[in-house]
Amino acid sequence: ATFDYDDFLTRLCAGITRDDEALAYAVELQNRAGTTVGAISNTLDGHVIWLDEHLPELKELDLVMMSNEVFLAKPDPAIYLLALEQLNLPAEQTIFVDDLDVNVRAAEAVGMAGIVHKDWAVTRPQIEAWLAS
C-alpha cells in the first residue's frame, strides 16, 4: 500500500474546525489600541499545516505559539511564561481564555486572569469586563 500524505492530513485534522466568531473577535481585539492578542495551541506538525491554510487570521495576532514548535504544551506553566516573555507582558496584565479548565487553572497559577470558555455569549462580555477593569 502507498502512503497518501494528503489523505493522512485530512484524517488527522478532521476534528479541527474554524470558529469564525472567535477569529473575528480576536482580530477586532488585536486592532484595538493598547490590546495585544496571542494564541497558544497544543498542536502537531500536520495541524499547523491545516491551521496555516484555513485560519489566515492567526497571522494578524501578536503571538501564535504552537506547542510542537516550542516543545511545550498546555497546561505546562512554562508555555504560559514563554508566551508572556515573547509578548513582553507581565502576567497580571493578561487574560487567558481556553475551553479546558485545567489549562485556565495553569495560566492562573502563573498570575494570569482566566476564563473557561463555553459560549461566546458569556465569554465575550467576561473579556470586555476584564479589559474595562
Q: How confident is the model at residue 16 (pLDDT cuts 50, 70, 90)?
A: confident
What is the tens place of the pLDDT at every residue in 70-93? 999 999 999 999 999 999 999 999
- pLDDT (0 to 100) of residue 73: 96
Taking 90 as the threshold, does the pLDDT of residue 130 lie above it?
yes
DSSP the chain: ----HHHHHHHHTTT----HHHHHHHHHHHTSTT---EEEE---HHHHHHHHHH-GGGGGSSEEEEHHHHT--TT-HHHHHHHHHHHT--GGG-EEEES-HHHHHHHHHTT-EEEE-S-HHHHHHHHHHHHH-
